Structure 1
């Protein structure tokens, strides 16, 4: 991809950062070759070992995605008809599922992108992960121009597809280019695809999502870093302790030492029969002449020490990843998440609000972009995103407190409705004037964990540019080829 971009006169971030993304991807998948596969000398020779993993890197990213973009997150515009249309387009693109999954990958690999396009009159959204994103220009860390790459299989041959979003004369132009995967020579585009699509938009038809933390790998790089980038050593500690914990039980099995004579075959009328079953792993035949009877060996298992060591490492990991300390506990053989209400003074609350800044802007720009492609006038359109605060506040208690304020005359009934039912002032005043029914507090969700946010079960395919299962076919239309699909990246 980089060589193809250079042929077109574009430069992107250095190759070394792509290698860093690959390492984060290995941690996200749970197995890092240079750490989880190792050699151990057993007294005679070196043997290959596989270290067990708890997969905590993925768990951390799942939690951040569920905290930030769950089923309770809503958006609205000042125009109700535009709001309904935007929600319809996002629903058609399975946004509540794919958006949550993209956010999980963005926190794992440091960067993700929403990319809007038109395919035969239908508005689509691609969900692009970090290793498919090639920034071309940026200012103060904000990516202004960007290329998105993927592999396409056309007539049985693998091609490299680049969709390049650049500014020309104050408006964005999308250049669609196809290259041979082997020699990187230009290839003709399908007839339906325009080589250059002039959007007429001053705003890009893509939005970049990253964790709201400084890229400590390269301070001048506009790409984000993984939320666990500075906690890799702790991830190693977690898996070292967990692997040792498993070995403690494997090596701590009861052993019974028996004289070798007892383990030999005894003759009988029907032939020879073993005294002990060879498959009984508890028995070990010993040739020492001093051993004349069975001897039981019970190894002491250091369960408490391992549990404490695992707890300390999980606390460190949670804190370094911005989730606050003591979020995870290891109980009954598995990792569980704390469910207490998040305090506004906690580190998790502060980090959650910080990450929402970037996500809020991305969702607002996404809504305006899909409405623009739908032919709507989005100039000056205000978009509001309501994030899920039930994970922060005790909503039942707050509901009761607000009811008391209404009863005391310190809050107007219409203000109560605006606060709790997200109604406009006009709607709230009209409905508050009706006979008041007994109010019921909203259901409390102690720890929102909905990874599936809406209809559909679209999953992430390893090595895809997006989440659309288009079986690798070309997606055509004015905006060009579809970037997503089951296509591997050229890393």
Structure 2
């Protein structure tokens, strides 16, 4: 089991609550039901939550990738202080892929490691202790696990506690564990070379904001009603499972429908396997996958060959799979066609615009929460670099291309139609999803010929 899996297991164990209580005398701000939900979302994202015997389509991955790409691909970030600007841009080089994990698990933390490096921590790998009334995470524990040998682990707990009046306090404590799950006995930080330079406890009375950037999905938590983040695909879990099962049906339809020819054993040639010495029957110079040896001559008027070639029903299975995908798109806030095939369903212009508006609203909410995260991250990096009083300004801008680009392109195409540059039927094909024949019929273009 990998170290990341150990961290997940440690956090997901019910015993971890009592471990934290015993070490710090505090309760953690996450319920058992939320712990299980976060673990499930993490496994879904990794493709490890499909029912037994069912292949995962990894639709969860497609959902979070689409949201992450749309949210930040056109993000423009600028800090007025050149040094801080360079640090921030370097820290955010891997924002996209880490945001995907945050979207999947419900939240993530971007934690500075000194003055110019950061660490991305998804919700499945940190322990929330306390949120303020606005849902900002102000107390949190970051576990780190090192495997030293068989049945020999070292666990470090880094506890960040922010008090809006007294400032920030960070404590580090280390433990020796036999299984990497239970804490075991406490040991000095110097017992592990990588931790030897860490300070057991340090206070920053002037730090009155979180010492990291905290991103949380803009989704109401109906799991336990807490401030913990909820996965972007939480509302589509059951439909995702059905889509995986439906794909299994489609896959089986192709596999079970493979053409085969049943051949009477009387016409098969007996041969001896040169390696095992065992005898077997085979059809010389023919495809082993195509022919099957059975006793078919009885009652078949002496026929030695029967073809097995059932009619495939793939169209029905594909249609069902695409419908599940569209239900997922609706449930999570994506546009139709983001993960489904946009050509498999007729949609009106109003439906298309409505689905794009739905995605726009979801992405905008994600961007707003991400902006808060980046503002706190920038402040924490400024703090560690002694630049909080430098008068720096952070600008984070997101382009609204989901709606703006399409509306602009559509207006441009309408102008081309009015000028005679683009035929009206081509406009209908592009914006109404019609095929060429239908588009020409709808525009009553009787003089145009359908291109075969």
TM over 0.5: yes
Identify, as 1 or 2, the structure richer in helix.
2
Determine the structure 1 residue equivalent to 2:139: 145
C-alpha contact (below 8 Å) 1:228/1:321 kept by paired residues: yes
Q: Deviations over 1:153-200 (max 9, x none)?
A: 468842111111113552011111111223522111134211112233
Q: CA deviation at 1:76?
A: 2.9
Q: Does 1:59 align with 2:62?
A: yes
Q: Does 1:135 align with 2:135?
A: no
Give me the whole-angstrom Cα distance separating, in 1, the residues matched to 2:306 and 2:384.
Answer: 80
The 1:100–1:112 alpha-carbon spacing in structure 2 relative to 1, beyond 3 Å, is same
Q: Deviations over 1:411-456 (max 9, x none)?
A: xxxxxxxxxxxxxxxxxxxxxxxxxxxxxxxxxxxxxxxxxxxxxx
Determine the structure 1 residue equivalent to 2:156: 161
**What is the RMSD of the two structures over their aligned residues, measured on CA atoms?**
3.1
Q: CA deviation at 1:90?
A: 2.7
Q: Does 1:263 align with 2:268?
A: yes
Q: CA deviation at 1:345?
A: 6.7
Determine the structure 2 residue equivalent to 1:205: 211
Q: TM-score, normalised by structure 1?
A: 0.68
Determine the structure 1 residue equivalent to 2:258: 253
C-alpha contact (below 8 Å) 1:342/1:393 kept by paired residues: no
Give me the whole-angstrom Cα distance separating, in 2, the residues matched to 1:131 and 1:281.
Answer: 46
| 2:243 partner SS | helix
Q: Select which of 213, 231, 236 maps to 1:231.
A: 236
| Structure 1: runs of 5 or more not aligned | 38-49, 333-339, 402-491
Give me the whole-angstrom Cα distance separating, in 2, the residues matched to 1:152 and 1:138.
Answer: 29
The 1:302–1:164 alpha-carbon spacing in structure 2 relative to 1, beyond 3 Å, is same
Q: TM-score, normalised by structure 2?
A: 0.73
5 Å-filtered alignment, 1:9-158, equals 9-12=25-28, 13-32=30-49, 35-37=50-52, 50-70=53-73, 72-77=74-79, 80=80, 82=81, 84-93=82-91, 95-97=92-94, 99-118=95-114, 122-140=115-133, 141-153=135-147, 157-158=152-153
5 Å-filtered alignment, 1:235-384, equals 235-265=240-270, 274-276=282-284, 280-288=288-296, 289-291=298-300, 292-293=302-303, 294-330=305-341, 346-378=357-389, 382-384=393-395
Q: CA deviation at 1:231?
A: 0.8
Give me the whole-angstrom Cα distance separating, in 1, the residues matched to 2:407 and 2:235.
Answer: 37
Aligned residues: 365
| 2:293 partner SS | strand
| 2:242 partner SS | helix
Q: CA deviation at 1:273?
A: 8.3
| 2:232 partner SS | coil
Q: Deviations over 1:307-365 (max 9, x none)?
A: 21011000000111111334333499xxxxxxx99779711111111222211111111
Give me the whole-angstrom Cα distance separating, in 1, the residues matched to 2:306 and 2:395.
Answer: 74
The 1:388–1:343 alpha-carbon spacing in structure 2 relative to 1, beyond 3 Å, is farther
| 1:25 partner SS | helix
C-alpha contact (below 8 Å) 1:135/1:222 kept by paired residues: no
C-alpha contact (below 8 Å) 2:71/2:364 kept by paired residues: no
Q: Does 1:222 align with 2:218?
A: no
Determine the structure 2 residue equivalent to 1:185: 185
The 1:283–1:345 alpha-carbon spacing in structure 2 relative to 1, beyond 3 Å, is closer
Give me the whole-angstrom Cα distance separating, in 2, the residues matched to 1:325 and 1:274.
Answer: 51
| Structure 2: runs of 5 or more not aligned | 1-9, 11-15, 191-195, 273-278, 344-350, 413-452
C-alpha contact (below 8 Å) 1:123/1:370 kept by paired residues: yes
C-alpha contact (below 8 Å) 2:336/2:355 kept by paired residues: no
Over 6 Å off, 4+ runs: 340-345
C-alpha contact (below 8 Å) 1:75/1:383 kept by paired residues: yes
Q: Deviations over 1:45-65 (max 9, x none)?
A: xxxxx2222110111011111
Give me the whole-angstrom Cα distance separating, in 2, the residues matched to 1:377 and 1:14.
Answer: 36
Q: CA deviation at 1:395?
A: 8.3
Q: CA deviation at 1:92?
A: 3.7
Give me the whole-angstrom Cα distance separating, in 2, the residues matched to 1:102 and 1:56.
Answer: 17
The 1:149–1:239 alpha-carbon spacing in structure 2 relative to 1, beyond 3 Å, is same
Determine the structure 2 residue equivalent to 1:46: none
The 1:4–1:295 alpha-carbon spacing in structure 2 relative to 1, beyond 3 Å, is same
Q: Deviations over 1:5-44 (max 9, x none)?
A: 2121121112332222121122111232xx431xxxxxxx
C-alpha contact (below 8 Å) 1:257/1:297 kept by paired residues: yes
| 2:189 partner SS | coil
Q: CA deviation at 1:218?
A: 0.8
| 2:130 partner SS | strand
